[in-house]
Amino acid sequence: MSTTTDPTQSVLVKTMLRAYVTNNATALSAFVNTEMSQVNVAWMLICGTNAGFFVFSMAIGYIILEAGTVKPREISLVFTKNITVICFSFFCYWIFGHALAFGQDEGGFMGTTDFAHTQMYYQSTRIAGEHRWFFQSFFSAISAVLIFTSMRERIDLGSCLAYTFFYSSWVWPIIAHWVWGQGWLSAWGAYPRSDGTARPIFKYTDSSNGFIDHAGSAVVHLAAGFSGLTGIVILGRKRAPSTGDANPVMLTIGTLLVWLGCYGSYAGWTVFISEGRASAAAKVVMNTSICCGSSLIFSILITYVFDRKYNLMSMLNGLLIGLVAISGACSVVKPWMAFLIGLGAAIFLFAGHTLLQVLKLDDPREACIVHGFGGLWGSWATGIFCTDANVRYAGYPNVNTACSSGEQFGVQVVGALVVMLWASAFSAIFFAVIRLAESQFPQEMSDDQNERIESE
């Protein structure tokens, strides 16, 4: 028995299927977009918290690193100070900082909306949400922690909190707005016109990129490092000189935690895991590995050539300055360029170490050099080694030849200089006031605090 298909029935079925697909295409598209937005939220939360916790591990690592450079009786003071600074920074960032950094732009200088999380404004609704607040708040807190690593035994806890309020509520958010928000330096919609058209320096059109800083080479590290260096210069040597009684176990564990945190945070700065960004995140962690490995190896070699010995602190600082230097460029350079950035970082570390010795400035962990000099070199290296193809691959919005023409290097030099001067100027004012107050009301801060803070 043969069967035949009714042509009329076949046409009817096709028509019904076509109508079904057409009617549901919009709903399906909306469903996929919603689900992918949740995947992107999860990506930032995972990189921010690692189910406990990538970016948080950076903060823990920096605290342990500082604790590894102090006398055993001062460890409780280090933990008390840093945990308090982090929590207080969250408060300041919630009330003032996030609004100034990522609120609606005003003249390319600062944000003006979302104080105390009342509006949650973003220039792009695709990156809106509390997950972005959480991610950014930790970078504000870490930057503050890094400043006071250099300030140890020079100012008391009250002064630390006073400057944390000023730094997390004003100094750092303005820098973040300039570079990561819609400020005049930004590569993400700089200083937009009334029609929303961005105006990145130097040309104020899409033929320029603006300042490229993937994960905080300038915004986090350069600002904190030179703030700390300025404080050291103004306040002078510590009350109790460094004894060299470093704890190698704590130093190593702290460095490893920072290293782990950098992998997560740098990958998280791709913001999305959709739209091909997973490959960009993989490239970021590969370049990070190559750079910090290069920096560590060359730091060991340079130290041995000049001192004829291996030094654990130099080795660990070599790793750390490599992580700092690549943070700005990790998404826009090739692997062999990351290797050269690591070599440059090792040279900057040795130069900074020598400078501290010549000027007789005391910073036991040399945090101001690792983060200040490392951030400066990282900002410059971004302009030196970036390629136009890699900038596009990293997701930056403009298609141009700024890297190959050399314009990007000029932008990076100007941006780094502005960030350094902004952070250093406010640091100089604050610590000059502290020194003046100390001259009027002298006190033995470190000893008094250790007597008041109990570790039991």
Q: Which two tokens stand for residue 108?
A: 């390319």
129 against 163, higher pLDDT: 163
Looking at the chain, the whole-number percentage of residues with pLDDT higher than 70 is 79
84: closest CA among 147, 146, 136, 158? 158
For the ranges 28-42, 56-70, 96-110, 250-264, the lowest mean pLDDT is seen at 28-42
32 against 379, higher pLDDT: 379
Q: Is the pTM of this model over 0.85?
A: yes
Backbone angles phi, psi at 105, to 5 degrees: -65, 145
For the ranges 125-139, 225-239, 256-270, the lowest mean pLDDT is seen at 125-139
**pLDDT tens column, 78-131:** 999 999 999 999 999 999 999 999 988 999 999 998 898 877 555 544 455 677
Q: Which two tokens stand for residue 390?
A: 């890699």
Q: Tell me, what's the pLDDT at 278?
A: 75
Backbone angles phi, psi at 106, to 5 degrees: -130, 100
Q: Tell me, what's the pLDDT at 353?
A: 94
Q: Tell me, what's the pLDDT at 439?
A: 72
Q: How far apart are alpha carbons 106 and 418 in whole angstroms? A: 19
Q: How far apart are alpha carbons 379 and 417 in whole angstroms? A: 10
Q: How far apart are alpha carbons 222 and 351 in whole angstroms? A: 16
Q: How close are the terminal C-alpha atoms of the chain, in Å?
A: 93
Across 173-178, average pLDDT: 97
For residue 106, list its beta bridge partners.
110
Give the count of alpha carbons within 13 A of 381, CB side only. Answer: 33
Residue whose entry in the numeric block shows the structure tokens 């207080």: 88
